[in-house]
Amino acid sequence: MTSFIHLIALSRTSGHAIAYHFSTRDPEQLVENKMKIIAAVNDKGAGESLSFQVVQTMQQSFESVIEYNPYFKQFKKYSELDSFTTKLIQTHELNAVDVASYIDRKKHCTSYTLQKLLYYVYADILTKYDWRPFKATFLAFKHGPVEKYVYKVRNKHHPDMPVKFGLEEKHIGAEKQALLTNTIEEVVSKYSGTYKNMNNEESNLTHKKKTPWSIAYRQGQNTQITDDMIRAYHQNEVLAK
């Protein structure tokens, strides 16, 4: 009886281990499918996040691959390429918690200071380079812009936050990674002293008139601060050079 050849595309980032599984008895189909996978993930900009394994078993199932080598048990299996690529992009998309964790390791600070630094990193890059450096949802809280997912993680799982290494693990391109980390260094250096005391309204630049926070807060507490607001008004909340 002819054995099955299994092609497994693997990705493991920030605690997410996923696999796309394809099996066939035809080696040409295997090669064709591998090229299809590469084209699909490269089109999404995630080609460098994959590795491939080829295994032979007597059954067609992924369970037979696990039986052959228990190493594969840790991966969540996808049989549909579209579903796999969608999940791949989601797990490799940089988010606010990834960046806040990086800042927290660089500069141990209060939640108030951390939220301000995170906001300025996002707003500076968005306005200077028209690039959303990470996935974020900033809300107009009483004391200024607050990223809602960082707020939840920081409040509930504070000790775990500094050990999240998403910024280092996720591939966003060398040039963009350098831009992001350099901006973080600049923002930490420039604004750490400004945002030490949450009760010092005189130093709270985000509370000046015609700032993104002031526009959103006027619409209601905890209203989202949109990218359009940041693009239009961020210049009114920055320190002079």
Question: How confident is the model over 92-120, as pLDDT tens digits?
Answer: 889 999 999 999 998 988 999 999 999 99
Q: Which two tokens stand for residue 33?
A: 């499918």
Q: Please tell me the pTM assigned to this model.
A: 0.80
Are 231 and 133 found together in one domain?
Answer: yes
Are 152 and 206 found together in one domain?
Answer: yes
Are 108 and 187 found together in one domain?
Answer: yes
Are 105 and 215 found together in one domain?
Answer: yes
pLDDT in tens, 164-185: 778 888 867 778 889 999 999 9
pLDDT in tens, 187-213: 999 999 999 888 888 889 999 999 999
Are 80 and 170 found together in one domain?
Answer: no
- Return the amino acid letter for 82: D
pLDDT in tens, 62-83: 999 999 999 999 999 999 999 9
Q: CA–CA separation, 232 vs 210, rounded Å? A: 9
> How many domains is the chain built from?
2
Name 205's Cβ contacts closer than 8 Å, sequence gap at least 6: 194, 211, 237, 238, 239
User: How many CA atoms within 13 Å lie on the side-chain side of 228?
Assistant: 3
Are 187 and 150 found together in one domain?
Answer: yes
Are 59 and 173 found together in one domain?
Answer: no
Q: Return mean pLDDT, the chain.
A: 91
Name 118's Cβ contacts closer than 8 Å, sequence gap at least 6: 96, 99, 100, 103, 136, 147, 150
Find the domain containing 33 and state its range. 4-92
Are 111 and 144 found together in one domain?
Answer: yes
Q: CA–CA separation, 175 vs 164, rounded Å? A: 22
Are 182 and 118 found together in one domain?
Answer: yes
CB of 211 closer than 8 Å to CB of 150: no
Among candidate residues 92, 120, 145, the one where a domain is terminated: 92
The residue among 26, 36, 22, 31 whose CA lies nearest residue 3 is: 26
CB of 65 closer than 8 Å to CB of 57: yes
Among candidate residues 41, 65, 92, the one where a domain is terminated: 92
Q: CA–CA separation, 15 vs 72, rounded Å? A: 15
Name 54's Cβ contacts closer than 8 Å, sequence gap at least 6: 5, 6, 7, 8, 30
Where residue 240 falls among pLDDT bands split at 50, 70, 90? Answer: confident
